[in-house]
Amino acid sequence: MQPSLRLNRRAFLQAALTAAAAAGAGVACSRNGSPWRFFTLDEARALAGMVDQIIPPDQDAGAVWAGVVNYIDRQLCGPYQTLQETYRYGLEAVDQTSQSTYGKVFADLESHQQIELLHRLEDGKAPGAAWKQVSSAEFFRYVVDHTMQGFYGDPRHGGNREGVSWKMLNLPYPPIRGRVRSDLPKPRSG
């Protein structure tokens, strides 16, 4: 690949977010001027940075490519509606903590800085008054749980694009309501 055609991680995240948002355009549970159902563009960027640190891309796709942000966005307009306020406060607090610690929003941090900040969230030691609405540890647990659900769950719920996690684990595609999934590629052998 020519060096000028390479996408850095940040450019890839933005391209993936734009594509995922465009796929869900027209369906919204809020009127926030965003192509996302629930998230604002800034919230989606922050969440994308978080989920791609939880399940980073390597030889297999990471959480962003697998559609985890789309999954969480869809679920917040459905079964997770009670967590909408938690996500609003939590993502805002992540960016506030990132700004006060590093002078940049979370999505713009270097990978090692994102990881360091996520460890603080996980330990409940994230600085800032923003964490009075929701504890950083509780918010981080929600994001981890929902990332796993979106990455490993059935693609019909908005994540696990093309059954990427099932292929990675070399799992057969589970039937849906007694039907065999013929629309997904077969797992790789070996």
For the full predicted model, state whether its pTM sits above 0.85. Answer: no
Task: Give, for all 190 residues of the chain, the pLDDT tens digit.
Answer: 434 434 455 555 455 555 444 444 444 465 556 688 999 999 999 999 999 999 999 888 889 998 999 999 999 999 999 999 999 999 999 999 999 999 999 999 999 999 999 999 999 999 888 898 889 999 999 999 999 999 888 888 888 788 888 888 877 766 565 555 555 566 566 5
Residue 179's beta-bridge partner residues? 176
Q: Max alpha carbon distance in the chain (Å)?
A: 52
What's the token pair of residue 14? Answer: 């933005």
**CA 138, chain centre distance (Å):** 17
Give the torsion through C-alpha atoms of 126, 40, 56, 133, to 10 deg: 20
DSSP, collapsed to helix, strand or coil, labels residue 65 as: coil
* Overall residue count recorded for the chain in this entry: 190
Q: Which tokens in the block code for residue 108?
A: 């713009």
